[in-house]
Amino acid sequence: MFKGSNVALVTPFKNDKLDDEAYINLIHFHIQNGTNGLVPAGTTGESPTLSHDEHERVIELCVKESNGKLPVFAGTGSNSTEEAISLTTHAEKIGANGALIVTPYYNKPTQEGLYQHYKAINDKCGIPILIYNIPGRSVIDMSVDTMARLFELKNIIGVKDATGDLDRVDQSLNKMGKEFIQLTGNDDNALEFNKRGGVGAISVTANIAPKLCSDFQKLSKSKNDNEMEEAKKLDKILQPLHHAMFVESNPSPVKYAAKLLNLCDDDVRLPLVKVTAETKDIVKKALHSAKLV
């Protein structure tokens, strides 16, 4: 149900308020351009600065507008277990297909604390859960052994791996087998990630290049040599875009790119700020190199 190119949706703002119209248009843009799944209210969706009501609304709009055409894995993580349970049960109630739950940031729980956090959420909900392991933002790195323990629970189905460590793919595959879904959170390593046993990505770049990302993902899992060569060509086209999206803190660069493509404004919420002139040039060049403008 959840593989290929899945977009970590930006949350459009206008005058510091949710821009519902732009957000709805974005969702239909992805439905029409080959995206395989939608991930609202994640890091790229600026979840840390969404109010609780806004967070729930973003997910509700995504579920409503996708209308079953694409699976929705809602970002429902928090460093408060109680809040994560609340967001996850709400996502389940309104019809999300699953939840993406980040490792608790700032608290610095032990591996046992991580296990108990996810177990508590698992025990209170009935939808699939993807672990979001991103030590670069949350400080904590969940071990493969802890993931294996969690995979024994009824709702834990896989991981969005943003460690950048490709050996994790092999380790998880050996420990938990092919049934454990592995999605990369690093666009730039998607080709090798899939070669090693991954099944897709939760992508920032897909916000602005959905068809390229979707075509790449499909070809990268092919057993056909010619199609794999095509995947490599697409990967080379996409790499400058991947790089440009992280020249400054995500999602500021991708929102600027989205503005250039008339998808939404480039407003972000403090403490994030709009990108510098230098970064704007990098983003423009990347869009030109991929023939998106």
Q: What is the pLDDT of residues 200-233, one digit of tens each?
A: 999 999 999 999 999 999 999 999 999 999 999 9
DSSP characters over 209-239:
-HHHHHHHHHHHT-S-HHHHHHHHHHHHHHH
Is residue 260 situated within a structural domain?
Answer: no
Distance CA 206, CA 191 (A): 15
Question: What count of other Cβ atoms lies within 10 Å of the Cβ of residue 158?
Answer: 23
Mean pLDDT of the chain: 97
Using one digit for the tens of pLDDT, what is the confidence trace for 49-77?
999 999 999 999 999 999 999 999 999 99
Is residue 78 situated within a structural domain?
Answer: yes
Confidence of residue 79 (pLDDT cuts 50, 70, 90): very high
Confidence of residue 180 (pLDDT cuts 50, 70, 90): very high
Per the residue annotation, which of 23, 132, 255, 259 is the catalytic one? 132
Is residue 54 situated within a structural domain?
Answer: yes
Is residue 249 situated within a structural domain?
Answer: no
Using one digit for the tens of pLDDT, what is the confidence trace for 137-179?
999 999 999 999 999 999 999 999 999 999 999 999 999 999 9
Using one digit for the tens of pLDDT, what is the confidence trace for 19-43?
999 999 999 999 999 999 999 999 9
Query: Alpha carbon of 260 to those of 197, 209, 228, 281, 292: distances in Å?
Result: 35, 12, 31, 12, 10
Is residue 236 situated within a structural domain?
Answer: no
171: its two tokens: 């380790």
Q: Check pLDDT > 90 for residue 268.
A: yes
Q: How many helices (H) and strands (E) does the chain have?
A: 12, 10
Is 113 exposed, middle or buried, given 0-12, 13-18 or 19+ CB atoms closer than 10 A?
A: middle
* Domain that includes residue 190, residue range: 4-224
DSSP characters over 101-148:
EEPPPSS---HHHHHHHHHHHHHH--S-EEEEE-HHHHS----HHHHH
- Catalytic-residue membership of 160: yes
CATH number of the CATH domain containing 28: 3.20.20.70
Confidence of residue 78 (pLDDT cuts 50, 70, 90): very high
Is residue 263 situated within a structural domain?
Answer: no
Task: Enter the pTM of the model.
Answer: 0.97
214: its two tokens: 């979707």
Is residue 246 situated within a structural domain?
Answer: no
Domains held by the chain: number = 1
Q: Check pLDDT > 80 for residue 126.
A: yes
| Percent of the chain whose pLDDT exceeds 70 | 100
Is residue 293 situated within a structural domain?
Answer: no
Handedness of CA 273, 31, 122, 135 (dihedral sign): negative
The per-residue pLDDT for 2 is: 87
Per the residue annotation, which of 160, 218, 259, 280 is the catalytic one? 160
